[in-house]
A = this chain, B = another copy of it.
Amino acid sequence: MTSSLRREPRQARSRAMVERIVDAARAVLAAEGYDAFSTNRVAAAAGVSPGSLYQYFPDKTALVDVLARQWVDRMSDDVAGALLAHVDAEAPDLLRSAATALLDAVERDPLMLRIVWLELPGARNVAARDALERRVRDVLTTYLRLRHPATAERADRLAWVLVLTAQQLTVRFVLDPDPPLTREQLVDELVAVSAGVLGVPGVPD
């Protein structure tokens, strides 16, 4: 009786627990790598008992998946949003704005980027990464079909090429300890690549 009054509503408690666990998982991965990422270790870091972890995650892999999915979802929203925001601009500006926005998104959480890209076992997170790529590609394909009818027939291929290229260059720019170009130069190169492939003028000269 009395004790039931002291408690937080169920939802809130669960949410708190899940968050503590997920945060701890991130922290452990970031600080000690995937080798130290044991359920016991995470539970300890979360100040929670190992058993509790299994009330919210059926599996160790489920926890990993949530981590990846969370990151992918936010990244996905960021990137898609950025693209949509600039969809009206004219070509040269568009490319530059889009490139900048993409880089912003990738730079937003370098810690998780490193975790998802380097720490998590690749095979298990291809699915999550694929979802991200697919979504962005769809947006881009649509855009290309509408605004660059000239490239319509190869819109699919172009989207695939552009998304993979932009992803690779931005991710590596953030992860590499000492990339051989500045942020601005990277944007320039991204624009150049896109413009070249699209057959539009990259830089207003």
Question: Which of B120, B160, B164 sits near A122, CB closer than 8 Å?
Answer: B120
Q: Most B CB atoms within 10 A — which of A123, A158, A179?
A: A123
Q: Contact at A193–B117, with CB atoms within 8 Å?
A: no
CB < 8 Å: which of B33, B120, B168, B180 contacts A157?
A: B180
Q: Is the CB of B160 within 8 A of A181?
A: yes
| Contact of A85 with B by CB under 8 A | no
Nearest CB of chain B from residue A97's CB, rounded to whole Å: 19
B179 A121 Cβ-Cβ under 8 A: no
Say how far A32's CB is from chain B's closest CB, in angstroms.
11
User: Looking at the complex, which one of B122, B158, B185 makes contact with A118 (CB distance below 8 Å)?
Assistant: B122
In the complex, chain A residues 105-163 whose Cβ is within 8 Å of any chain B Cβ = 117-123, 126, 154, 156-158, 160-161
The A contact surface, by secondary structure, is helix
Instruction: Answer whether residue A197 sits at the interface, using C-beta atoms and an 8 A cutoff.
Output: yes
Residues of B within 8 A of A120 (CB): 122
Inter-subunit contact B196/A192 (CB<8 Å):
yes
Interface-centre pick from A156, A160, A167 (highest chain B CB count, 10 A): A160
Task: Tell me if A48 is interfacial: C-beta within 8 Å of chain B.
Answer: no
Residue numbers of A with Cβ under 8 A of B are 33-35, 117-123, 126, 154, 156-158, 160-161, 164-165, 167-169, 172, 179-181, 185, 189, 192-193, 195-197, 202
Q: List 19 A-B contacts (CB under 8 A).
A: A117-B122, A118-B122, A119-B123, A120-B122, A156-B180, A157-B181, A160-B179, A160-B181, A161-B169, A161-B193, A165-B165, A165-B168, A165-B169, A168-B168, A189-B197, A193-B193, A195-B196, A196-B197, A196-B202
